[in-house]
Structure 1
Amino acid sequence: MTKFTDLALDPRVLKAVQEAGYDSPTPIQAQAIPHALEGKDVLGIAQTGTGKTASFTLPMITLLGKGRARARMPRSLVLAPTRELAAQVAENFETYAKHTKLTKALLIGGVAFGEQDKLIDRGVDVLIATPGRLLDHFERGKLLLQGVQIMVVDEADRMLDMGFIPDIERIFSLTPFTRQTFFYSATMAPEIERITNTFLQNAVKIEVARQNSTSNTIEQALVNVTPSRKDRSSAEKRDALRDLIRSEGEACTNAIVFCNRKIEVDVVAKSLKSHGFNAAPIHGDLEQRQRMATLDGFREGTVHILVASDVAARGLDVPSVSHVFNFDVPTHPEDYVHRIGRTGRAGRKGKAFTLATPTDEKYVTAIEALVGQPIPRAAVSAPVAPAPAAPTEEPREERTTRSRRRRSSDREDRAPRAEAPKAERPAAERAPDTSGPVLGLGDHVPDFMLRSFAVPERTITDEDA
């Protein structure tokens, strides 16, 4: 079996690896590191949770051991699709480069430009960034990329999904042609292959697992939920989710619940908390400080259930996640691989449940076609208690009509049922008969309209003349 000591890494790096508790590299690390140390471009394809981050951070630290950073000109560049993944890469560098003097900077959104500018002005060996924030600094004239010796694109397929490919191509054009490039991804779309053919030179392709495969350490299950009514689908799925979590009992030490929409993340998290679960939401609309605090709480165990959008599906490294629940079936089958890959990491066992309604059938079929195997069907252990039917919204016209009827009925209830007979009044005092058709003012003409207002003629006198 290959050991880290067999990979010609810098002794300071080896010391940090040993202090982190690692002795043997994963397959992607064992195959990629030797080629990276030789200065070759690397195209790494491996399922999530196999150690791709260390497979490029360890050789980068070794290669950057000699040399010095200059102001505004980083020596290496790592691009990540999300803030969380970029922050995680930065943590890896801190762990493995702690015995070296290499400097780094993290450029992500949600953080003030001023502090990031100060780090860049001092000069950094390793620059870790999301594409948008990197280009913001470049366009402000605060960053130069001519000194980049090593460039890494992490989670390249996620970059494609998020629409970053034009930015990636532009960033490539700003770096030297002689750079060394690492491309890492869990899946390989045709567009990604086109980019690698364009920007990588004689790259060594390393594929340690079949493309789009899921780890055999993950026990998968598909739970079909047939809603009683279309408007009850989300509520009854929340019932099923709670029953699933309860049925797992103490085996569910912590869990990530994935939703397709940010608004659904907030609704599910609020629902879980209202039923006594320790849950917290995380998605792209939250402030960066809140997102990082939630992630830290989940890693430390103060948050038991993390309800997340796909912002957390890529690169979130919490080795001890016991369960993943797909509250929504992902519309992109590749996302299924990344979501369930948050559990069963580093050789541990994990479970992944997916809640599906009849309308999700086409997405389930696409996922099974991608991973090359059917997802085992399962049922919720505890019966789902029927939730009270929510009042449906009544059309405005019907509400108005019903309100008018109610007011009319109220008036009828207040009116006397029958009037007492009255003595007949003299004919002269009785009102005129109006039982016939009434035209204009009726038979009665006001007296003032019968009066003559004509001015009498008079003779013109000399005074008038």
Structure 2
Amino acid sequence: MTKFSDLNLNPKVLKAIDEAGYESPTPIQAGAIPPALEGKDVLGIAQTGTGKTASFTLPMITMLARGRARARMPRSLVLCPTRELAAQVAENFDTYSKHLKLTKALLIGGVSFKEQDKLIDKGVDVLIATPGRLLDHFERGKLLLTGVQIMVVDEADRMLDMGFIPDIERIFSLTPFTRQTLFFSATMAPEIERITNTFLSAPERVEVARQATTGENIEQGVVMFKGSRKDREPSEKRNVLRAVIDAEGEKCTNAIVFCNRKVDVDIVAKSLKKYGYDAAPIHGDLDQSQRTRTLDGFRDGTLRFLVASDVAARGLDVPSVSHVFNFDVPSHAEDYVHRIGRTGRAGRDGKAVMICVPRDEKNLADIERLVQREIPRIDNPLKGAAPVAEKPAKAEQTADEKPKRSRSRSRKTDEADIAQPETAAKPEPKSDPKPEEQPKRSRGRRGSGGGRQNDQSDRSGNKVVGLGDHTPEFIGLSFKERSAS
């Protein structure tokens, strides 16, 4: 069996690997590290969770151990599609280069430009960045890429999905032609293959698994679900999710719940939290500090459920994720591979469960065609059980409101019934009313309460003088004088 000591790595790097507790490289590491140390371009294809990050960090640190960086001219560049993946790569460099005096800078969104500029001005050996933030620094004149000796593109297929390919091509054009390029991806779409043919020179192809395959140590299943009504489907679907989680019991120590849309991430996270599940959302619209706190909580075990969009499908290196729940069937079949790759890492067993509604059956068929296997169907845990209201508090409130509305209607009916005899007893005269009668009619129309009071007073035989029923004599005199004139 191959060991790291057989790969001609720097002794100080080997010491850091040993302290991290690793002895033997994974297949992608054993295949990619030797040609990378020889200075060759490398095209690595492997499913997620196989250790691709160490496949380029270890040879890079070994090759960068000699030499010194110049101001604003990094010696190496690592491009990542998301902030989380970039932060993970930075952690790997910290782990494996702790016995070497190498400097690094992390250029990601959500962080002050000023702090990043300070690091770049001092000169860095390793620059780890997302494409957008890297180009922002370049266009501001704070960065030069003419000193890049080694360039790495990580998760290239995710770059394609996120629309970064034009930025990648531009960044390639800003780096020296003599650079060494390490290109890693889990799948090889035609557009990715075109880029590798354009920018890689006779690359060493290292493919340790069939493209878009899922780990054999991951138990998979799908729940076929159809809502009772279209407007009730989202709520009932969340009921199914909670039932699936409960069915796993204590085996579900922690889990990632994936949704296709950011708005659904927030809704599902709030729903789980409301029903007593320790859950928090993470997606691209959140502040970087909040995303970092959420991920740190999930990694250290203080947060049990992470509800995420596909921004978290790449770059999350939490070895002990027991379950992945796909609340939505991914729109792109490749995303399914990356999502469930968050569990079953480092040789552990994992489980992935997906909920499929009728409109997503086409996407499910695409996934099964890609992974070349049928995903086993799982019985709906709620089948045959009484439906559970998504928001019982609101349901009770709605039930209370209905009698109130009926009472309100009956009250209006009562008023109409009371007012009706008055109208029948005193029909509207055809001729113009006398001036002194006008206030009484307008009062009857203005409020039903006064009408009821006057009507009851008449039936009892006692005249009740109410507000406005008595007018001063001078007002009456003025009317008479005016009518006489």
TM-score above 0.5, yes or no: yes
Structure 1's unaligned 5+ residue stretches are 393-401, 433-465
Note the C-alpha offset of 1:388: 4.0
Number of aligned positions between the proteins: 417
What residue number does 2:283 align with?
283
Note the C-alpha offset of 1:109: 0.2
Amino acid at match of 1:387: V
Residue 64 (1) aligns with residue 68 (2): no
Distance 1:360 1:420, change over 3 A: closer
Amino acid at match of 2:121: D
Kindly indicate whether the alpha-carbon contact (under 8 Å) linking 1:323 and 1:352 is maintained by their aligned counterparts in 2: yes
Amino acid at match of 1:77: L
Superposition CA RMSD, Å: 2.2
Cα distance per residue 1:272-324 (max 9 Å; x no partner): 01111111110011000000000000000000000000000012110000000
Cα distance per residue 1:215-259 (max 9 Å; x no partner): 001000001111001111111111111111111111101000000
Note the C-alpha offset of 1:151: 0.2
5 Å-filtered alignment, 1:103-118, equals 103-118=103-118
Distance 1:225 1:169, change over 3 A: same
Matched residues in 2 for 1:84 and 1:218: separation?
23
Q: 1:413 aligns with which of 412, 417, 423?
A: 417
Matched residues in 2 for 1:90 and 1:46: separation?
21
SS at match of 1:70: coil
Distance 1:381 1:416, change over 3 A: closer
Note the C-alpha offset of 1:413: 3.3
Note the C-alpha offset of 1:381: 3.7
What residue number does 2:231 align with?
231
Amino acid at match of 1:114: K
SS at match of 2:353: strand
SS at match of 1:415: helix
Structure 2's unaligned 5+ residue stretches are 396-405, 433-485
SS at match of 2:344: coil
Cα distance per residue 1:355-401 (max 9 Å; x no partner): 01111110000000111111010013455541349999xxxxxxxxx
What residue number does 1:460 align with?
none
Distance 1:420 1:200, change over 3 A: closer
What residue number does 2:462 align with?
none
Matched residues in 2 for 1:2 and 1:414: separation?
97
Matched residues in 2 for 1:349 and 1:223: separation?
20
Distance 1:409 1:252, change over 3 A: same
Kindly indicate whether the alpha-carbon contact (under 8 Å) linking 2:225 and 2:380 is maintained by their aligned counterparts in 1: no
Note the C-alpha offset of 1:410: 6.8
5 Å-filtered alignment, 1:358-373, equals 358-373=358-373
Residue 174 (1) aligns with residue 174 (2): yes
Matched residues in 2 for 1:348 and 1:377: separation?
23
Note the C-alpha offset of 1:169: 0.3
Note the C-alpha offset of 1:72: 0.2
5 Å-filtered alignment, 1:300-379, equals 300-379=300-379
What residue number does 1:386 align with?
387
Note the C-alpha offset of 1:419: 5.9
SS at match of 1:277: coil
SS at match of 1:223: strand
Amino acid at match of 1:333: A
5 Å-filtered alignment, 1:89-128, equals 89-128=89-128
| TM-score normalised per structure 2 | 0.83
Matched residues in 1 for 2:328 and 2:231: separation?
16
Distance 1:420 1:299, change over 3 A: closer
Note the C-alpha offset of 1:61: 0.2
Kindly indicate whether the alpha-carbon contact (under 8 Å) linking 1:247 and 1:382 is maintained by their aligned counterparts in 2: no
SS at match of 2:346: coil
Matched residues in 2 for 1:385 and 1:294: separation?
35
Matched residues in 2 for 1:80 and 1:330: separation?
21
Cα distance per residue 1:86-108 (max 9 Å; x no partner): 00000000000000001000000
SS at match of 1:49: coil
What residue number does 1:16 align with?
16
Note the C-alpha offset of 1:407: 10
Kindly indicate whether the alpha-carbon contact (under 8 Å) linking 2:240 and 2:381 is maintained by their aligned counterparts in 1: no
SS at match of 1:319: coil
Residue 87 (1) aligns with residue 87 (2): yes
Kindly indicate whether the alpha-carbon contact (under 8 Å) linking 2:47 and 2:209 is maintained by their aligned counterparts in 1: yes
| TM-score normalised per structure 1 | 0.86
SS at match of 2:169: helix
Distance 1:104 1:243, change over 3 A: same
Kindly indicate whether the alpha-carbon contact (under 8 Å) linking 2:79 and 2:131 is maintained by their aligned counterparts in 1: yes
Cα distance per residue 1:203-225 (max 9 Å; x no partner): 01111000111000100000111
SS at match of 1:367: helix
Cα distance per residue 1:400-451 (max 9 Å; x no partner): xx9xx999857633422476768x9xxxx9849xxxxxxxxxxxxxxxxxxx
5 Å-filtered alignment, 1:199-278, equals 199-278=199-278
5 Å-filtered alignment, 1:416-455, equals 416-417=420-421, 431=431
SS at match of 1:346: helix
Matched residues in 1 for 2:390 and 2:48: separation?
41
Matched residues in 1 for 2:308 and 2:430: separation?
82
Tell which deviates more after alignment, 102-111 or 231-240.
231-240
Kindly indicate whether the alpha-carbon contact (under 8 Å) linking 1:239 and 1:385 is maintained by their aligned counterparts in 2: no
Matched residues in 2 for 1:415 and 1:351: separation?
71
SS at match of 1:236: helix
Cα distance per residue 1:17-75 (max 9 Å; x no partner): 01111000000000000000000000000000000000000000001111100000000
